């Protein structure tokens, strides 16, 4: 009897993995005659309409990404009431399996894997996405040494960007950014934190921390640098693991460039383009406040100089002189930027 095909196209051959959210099987696309990794939402989860929508939406977004370090998404659909994703089958192993077999890696090998990870994340972030679940189990190492990022959307589909049940995240707690544990908005900085955690484990053979409770996640203890790692590499890793996301490197591309600079000069690796620098809002506000302060000082200095001139001249106007026009006050602004413009206009008017 012919084996049933998923969506009339995919013949399941053997399991690759399973979890609370989804199952993954090796299947063959009978139309294109190629192997695929077929991920299907677990049957008990498939009844959750919101989860189904997120599962499919994130898969479609991931399908728009084209980068050699990201697992390609071929197809998204539904079969028997269960959403599925047909993805590129990566023949190799996960970094979790590599670590379990070998333990800590030589620094150069760990750094080169880190550069590949950052290359993939740079593409993810350029597309406006955040992976949210970067960990060794989701990083696939092909037999030829190429690293690929997989499992887009499952973490988001499970609980959005907030933690509601502590037990749902303890499996990935070592790679979770503190702001993510606090239920704050998750940005690309959370993926950079997870990158630091993965690099730490590649260098030290263990995660940077092993929190046992939600309180440990929200308020992490201080992390010691990875023992035995070269100092310049350790500094990059520790910067990624900064508790405050503002203290982390500004982009995955920056991390890739910094890591590549630690490799021997004979080593050449392709690097992602750094995104353009944009001044932070806080920096812009400080600049505007400084402009206001400087303007106020100039106005006061000008007033003092005028008073001194009048004093030197006798403190009185010559007979029949035209009385000076009244000086209008600086108009307040709705915010610092408008206030600065008003002050600039005031200075131009009365400094002639």
Q: Which residues are identified as catalytic?
A: 133
> For residue 337, what are its two tokens?
């930027």
Residues paired with 12 in a beta bridge: 27
Query: CA neighbours within 13 Å on the CB side: how many for 235?
Result: 7
Beta bridge partners of 77: 84
- Give the span between the Cα atoms of 64 and 66, in whole angstroms: 6
Taking the C-alpha atoms of residue 188 and residue 174, their distance in angstroms, rounded to an integer, is: 17
Q: Give me the helix-helix angle, 231-240 and 188-204, nearest 10°.
A: 140
**H or E stretch covering 122:** helix 107-126
Yes or no: say if 86 and 75 are a contact pair by the CB < 8 Å rule.
yes
**Percent composition of the chain: helix, strand, coil (DSSP 3-state, to 5):** 45, 15, 40
Determine whether 299 is exposed, middle or buried from the number of CB atoms within 10 Å of its CB (0-12, 13-18, 19+): middle
The position carrying tokens 């910094």 is 258
75 Cβ contact partners less than 8 Å away, ≥ 6 residues apart: 7, 9, 36, 85, 86
DSSP code string of 298-310? HHHHHHHHHHHHH
């Amino acid at each position: 009897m012919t084996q049933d095909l998923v969506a009339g196209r995919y013949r399941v051959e053997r399991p690759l993995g399973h979890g609370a959210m989804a199952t993954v099987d090796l299947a063959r696309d009978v139309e294109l005659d190629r192997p695929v990794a077929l991920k299907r939402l677990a049957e008990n989860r498939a009844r959750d309409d919101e989860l189904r929508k997120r599962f499919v939406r994130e898969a479609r977004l991931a399908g728009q990404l084209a980068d050699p370090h990201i697992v390609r998404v071929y197809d998204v659909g539904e079969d028997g009431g269960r959403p599925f994703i047909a993805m590129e089958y990566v023949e190799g192993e996960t970094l979790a399996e590599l670590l379990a077999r070998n333990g800590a890696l030589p620094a150069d090998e760990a750094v080169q894997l880190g550069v590949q990870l950052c290359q993939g994340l740079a593409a993810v972030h350029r597309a406006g996405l955040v992976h949210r679940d970067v960990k060794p189990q989701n990083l696939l190492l092909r037999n030829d040494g190429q690293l690929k990022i997989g499992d887009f959307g499952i973490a988001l589909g499970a609980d959005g960007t907030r933690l509601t049940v502590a037990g749902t995240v303890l499996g990935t707690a070592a790679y979770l950014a503190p702001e993510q544990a606090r239920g704050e908005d998750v940005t690309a900085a959370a993926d950079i934190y997870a990158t630091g955690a993965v690099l730490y484990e590649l260098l030290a053979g263990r995660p940077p921390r092993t929190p046992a409770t939600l309180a440990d996640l929200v308020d992490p203890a201080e992390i010691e640098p990875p023992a035995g790692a070269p100092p310049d590499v350790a500094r990059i890793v520790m910067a990624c693991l900064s508790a405050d996301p503002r203290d982390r490197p500004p982009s995955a591309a920056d991390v890739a460039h910094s890591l590549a600079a630690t490799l021997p000069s004979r080593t050449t690796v392709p690097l992602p383009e750094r995104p353009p620098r944009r001044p932070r809002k806080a920096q812009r506000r400080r600049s505007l406040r400084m402009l206001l302060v400087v303007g106020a000082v100039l106005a006061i200095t000008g007033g003092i100089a005028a008073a001194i001139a009048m004093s030197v001249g006798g403190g009185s106007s010559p007979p029949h002189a035209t009385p000076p026009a009244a000086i209008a006050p600086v108009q307040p602004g709705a915010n610092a930027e408008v206030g600065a413009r008003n002050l600039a206009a005031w200075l131009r008017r009365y400094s002639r």
